[in-house]
């Protein structure tokens, strides 16, 4: 099973200058809980945005650069190679935008945090189409400087 894990603003923004445009500790806790022990597929920029590899998870990095390598990264150069490297079981695809686009036709589930703001950004993921069905939603109000957000689970309609 291939599951996308992402936080996306109301305007589709998922990132700006290699970082998240918001701070939502609950989203980070959810991400950690949902990805722990699973192979994570990501692009090079996403991997490089981490201060160090995240504990308890494999980091499969899909890059076009044949010379790129980094400690803690399992480097692959195609979607097929990423899937073969990840093996059986659930695979967490964690971004960025180009990686989500490459895996969209193969994804089974989306664990989405809808962040109810419209910031400027340079990484955009469009809304998921009508083939996706919402099966769970948990809304959270604005708290101080933190925007309102919703935890949403989508599955591909049969």
pLDDT in tens, 14-56: 999 988 999 999 999 999 999 999 999 999 999 999 999 999 9
**What's the mean per-residue pLDDT of the chain?**
96
Confidence (pLDDT) at 74: 98
pTM: 0.96
Catalogue all structural domains in the chain, each as residue range(s) with its CATH number: 2-156 (3.40.430.10)
pLDDT in tens, 104-114: 999 999 999 99
Confidence (pLDDT) at 97: 96
Confidence (pLDDT) at 158: 77
Going by C-alpha positions, the residue among 4, 26, 32 that lies closest to residue 101 is 4
Confidence (pLDDT) at 18: 87
C-alpha 72 chain-centroid distance: 18
Q: Provide mean pLDDT across the span 110-126.
A: 97
Peptide bond into 96 cis (omega under 30): yes
pLDDT of residue 127 exceeding 90, the answer is: yes
Place of tokens 């090079």: 44
Could you tell me if 153 and 34 are in contact, meaning their C-beta atoms sit under 8 angstroms apart? no
Q: How far is the C-alpha of 152 from the C-alpha of 116, rounded, in Å?
A: 13
């Amino acid at each position: 099973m291939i599951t996308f894990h992402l936080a996306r603003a109301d305007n589709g923004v998922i990132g700006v200058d290699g970082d998240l445009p918001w701070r939502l500790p609950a989203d980070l806790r959810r991400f950690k809980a949902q990805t722990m022990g699973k192979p994570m597929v990501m692009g090079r920029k996403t991997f490089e945005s981490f201060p160090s590899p995240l504990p308890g998870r494999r980091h499969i990095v899909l890059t076009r650069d044949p010379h790129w390598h980094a400690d803690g990264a399992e480097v692959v150069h195609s979607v097929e190679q990423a899937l073969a490297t990840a093996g059986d079981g659930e695979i967490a695809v964690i971004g960025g935008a180009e990686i989500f686009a490459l895996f969209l036709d193969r994804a089974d589930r989306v664990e989405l945090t809808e962040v109810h703001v419209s910031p400027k950004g340079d990484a955009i993921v469009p809304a998921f189409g009508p083939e996706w069905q919402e099966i769970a939603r948990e809304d959270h109000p604005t708290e101080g400087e933190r925007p309102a957000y919703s935890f949403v689970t989508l599955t591909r309609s049969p």
